[in-house]
Structure 1
Amino acid sequence: MSDSAAPRLAPLPVRDWDTDTRAMFRGHLSSAEKYLSGAPDAPAMPGILGILAHHTALASAWLAYNGLLLERPTVDPCDRELVILRVAWRSGSDYEWAQHVRIATGLGVTPAQIDAVRHGPQAPVWSAVQRCLLAMTDQLLDRHRVDDATWAQLAQHFDNRQLIELLFIAGSYLCLALVLNSVALQPDPEREERS
């Protein structure tokens, strides 16, 4: 999807993280210790975390905010992932796409649905609600506003908290895609193989 092969800003290697950065990640990610353990079998740090490590204060705020969307959602995680995948596809974010294909697959989103995200709300695999979520995402990306008809359909299926959360999911992952595309972060190799 992207047009840049060489990263503009490489993830900061864990060996270069200071004590404050390590402590901040431990405070925000339940999985931090497995990456920071230094054990021979420790998994590679995801590239996005290495990018965030360049700015510890911003990383702290982002991880707290994003943690709410991922760990304490009011929206069904499969619905969330469809919105994120549509944002990733439309914005050309290879990294975001690869990460969220893996997450969506783990939640039970089918390969046919993941493929259909590329085709948008018109694909025949979607339920009425899923079609509406993808239309919402496209409208936000194209016009920066959900139209009245789509909003009315969404409001039949989602309460006010969920409606706000859906808007923030689309906006947040567009923001993240802009960052990832601009620094030219490449998909994590082990993630790429699984997607």
Structure 2
Amino acid sequence: MSSKTSAARLGLVDPETASPSVKQALAKLPAVNGLRAMANAESLYPAYIDFLLLLFRPLEIDPALERMIALRVATLQECLYIWRNNVVVARSVGMTEEQISVLERGDTVAKSFSPAQQAAFAFTDEVVFRVEATDATYDRAKQYFSDRALTEILFVIGNYMLVARVIRTGRVPLDEKPTPFPQQGA
């Protein structure tokens, strides 16, 4: 994953001077650069933050798998910003250093991943690159995941694809250090 440094395109909203609704939304999570850039969409940002917070509440998919999917999307979208911040969360929800390391190398079939996790990665890859999973990949994922879980996976994929586009197109700078986000259930 490259960390190209170039001039930022999107400004970073200052929580102190933001409109009341954006200021309130910015206070719900750490004011990292990515969220401050997304706050430029004043009409959408407060509702987006409410949605994002739902991803930190218990889902049918377990928190470690959710982070694995976020990290996989970060890798596929070549978004160091997402990778860096989600590694912090991944460690806090039980991902091992070995899993993080092999996922960073792009190895989604390593022995450190269960067959269900491997199926989730294949599903993620096809959704990212093809928009829809093939029947074979969908059927494989369906062996491990309910309709609810597959839909949650799609929400996670879509969220991080959106974030990657804002970060990369807006050339949002990395924060000085990664900031831990709330764990699921928080």
Q: How many residues align?
A: 177
Aligned partners of 1:120 and 1:135 also within 8 Å: no
Q: Which runs of 5+ in 1 are unaligned?
A: 36-44
Cα 1:49/1:89, change in 2 over 3 Å: same
What's the C-alpha RMSD, in Å, of the aligned pairs? 1.9
Distance 1:89 1:8 in 2: 22
Corresponding residue for residue 141 of structure 1: 128
Q: Secondary structure at the match of 1:16?
A: coil
Distance 1:98 1:4 in 2: 15
Q: Detail structure 1 runs of 4+ shifted over 3 Å in the superposition.
A: none
Give the TM-score normalised by the residue count of structure 2: 0.85
- The alignment-based identity, stated in percent, is 26
For 1:1-195, list aligned pairs within 5 A: 1-26=2-27, 29=28, 31=29, 45-118=31-104, 119-191=106-178
| Unaligned runs of at least 5 residues, structure 2 | 180-186
Q: Deviations over 1:44-64 (max 9, x none)?
A: x31122112222221112112
Letter in 2 for 1:73: L
What is the distance in 2 between the residues matched to 1:14 and 1:24? 9
Which one-letter code corresponds to 2:64 in the other structure?
C
Bigger drift between 83-92 and 146-155 goes to: 146-155
Give 1:109 deviation, angstroms: 0.5
Would you say the 8 A contact 1:85–1:100 is kept in 2?
yes
In structure 2, the partner of 1:40 is none
The answer to which structure has the higher helix fraction is 1
Q: Please list the CA deviations of residues 95-144 of structure 1 after superposition, one character each: whole Å capped at 9, or x if unmatched.
A: 11111011101111111111111323233322111111111111112211
Structure 2 counterpart SS, 1:83? helix
Residues 66-120 of structure 1, C-alpha deviations (whole Å, 9 max, x = no match): 2222224221111111111000011011111111011101111111111111323
Q: TM-score, normalised by structure 1?
A: 0.82
Q: Please name the residue that 1:42 is paired with.
A: none
Amino acid at match of 2:49: L
CA distance in 1, matches of 2:154, 2:25: 27
Report the Cα distance in structure 1 between the residues aligned to 2:153 and 2:57, rounded to whole angstroms: 15
**Structure having the higher Rg:** 1
**Deviation, structure 1 residue 183:** 0.7
